Amino acid sequence: MVLFKINGERNSGTNFLNTILRVNNFPVYEQEIINNVCKQWKHGLPRKENKLLDNKVIDIFIFRSLDEWLVSMYHNCYHLEPKNNFTDFLTIKQKSIETYLLDYKTNKCLNADDNGKTIFEIRYYKFKKIMEYIQKNKNIVLVNLTFLQNKKNLLYFLNQLNNIYMNNSISTHYILKIPHTKINTNIQNRKYSIDLEIYKNIINKYKNEEIESFINNLTCSITYKSGNKCILKIPHIEPLPIELENYKNIINAHKLNEQKTFIKNITLTVTYEL
C-alpha cells in the first residue's frame, strides 16, 4: 500500500496539507500518539523508520517563507517557552516547555533538539537533516506552502501525486478549498501586526541566504526514483491584476527579460527511473 507521510516545521502548513490530502482520499500518515509517547512526530527530524510504515511511503516536506514563519512561530510557539518580545524571540536561545509528550525513540521530551538553539538554528538544523535524508532515500516530495495556496498549483500538485503514486485511482473532482485548520475560517493565513522592517537588520544577520533562496524558489520537487531528471511544466502563472494593466508598459521597460523568463519557467522537478 502507498502511504503519504506529512513532515514540516511548526506553522509551516502541515495541518493544511494533511487535511487537503485526507479530504481528497489520499492515504495519509501524520503521526501517532499513544499515552504520552509520540511516534514519527511530524515536526521532528526525518528518520529511516519512516519508510517502514508501509510498502511505499512518500515523505512530503512542506516549507514556509522565513518572514511569515517567524511571525507565526512567535505568536504560536508550540512546545517552546514564550518570549517577552519579538527581538528576544529572534536572538535568545530557545527552551522547550514540553513536559508531557515524549519521543518514542529517545524517550526525551518531544522537541529536545530545540533546546539551546536560536529560532534560526532550529530552522536550519532541521533543514539540513531533511537534505541529508533526501540523499539516502527516494519517494520524497518538497513543496512550498505559498505555492500550494494557489488553487491551480494545488490542482496540479494533487494530479501529480495521483498520477505518479496512485495510478490515477483517486477521483479528480478534488476539494481545493478548506477552512483554516486552526481557526475554522476561510482565510488562508492568520494576520499579525508585526512590522518586520523594524527587525530587518536582525533577521538579515541570522538568516541563511542560501537556504532561504532555496525555499523561496521552491515550488514542488518530487524525487520518485534515482535516475534521470524530467522537468514538468506547471501552469501557475496568473495574469496581471486589472489595476496593473495600466502600468504594464512601465513594468516591461524595467524588468530584466532573462530573469523574468527564468522565474516564469520555475515549475516542478521530478527525478525518476527510466
Helix (H) or strand (E) holding 28: strand 28-29
Domain span at residue 139 reads 2-272
Which residue, chain included where needed, has cell 541570522?
A: 206
Distance CA 239, CA 251 (A): 14
Residue 193: per-residue pLDDT: 82
Residue 179: per-residue pLDDT: 84
Measured in residues, the chain has a length of 274
CB 141 within 8 A of CB 226: no
CB 274 within 8 A of CB 224: no
CB 220 within 8 A of CB 144: yes
pTM of the model: 0.81
Task: Name the phi and psi angles at 57, rounded to 5.
Answer: -110, 125
Residue 274: per-residue pLDDT: 41
Tens-digit pLDDT string for the chain (274 aa): 899 999 999 999 999 999 999 999 999 997 899 999 999 999 999 999 989 999 999 999 999 999 999 999 999 999 999 999 999 999 999 999 999 999 999 999 999 999 999 999 999 999 999 999 999 999 999 999 999 999 999 999 999 999 999 999 999 999 999 886 665 666 666 778 899 999 999 999 999 999 999 999 999 998 876 443 443 434 443 433 444 455 566 656 665 555 555 455 545 544 444 4
CB 95 within 8 A of CB 81: yes
Residue 35: per-residue pLDDT: 93
The CA R_g of the chain, rounded to the nearest whole Å, is: 20
Residue 241: per-residue pLDDT: 42
Which sign, positive or negative, has the C-alpha torsion 90, 102, 65, 214? positive
Q: How many domains does the chain have?
A: 1
DSSP classification of residue 150 = S
Residue 192: per-residue pLDDT: 80
CA distances from 54 to 3, 58, 103, 212 (A): 6, 10, 21, 32
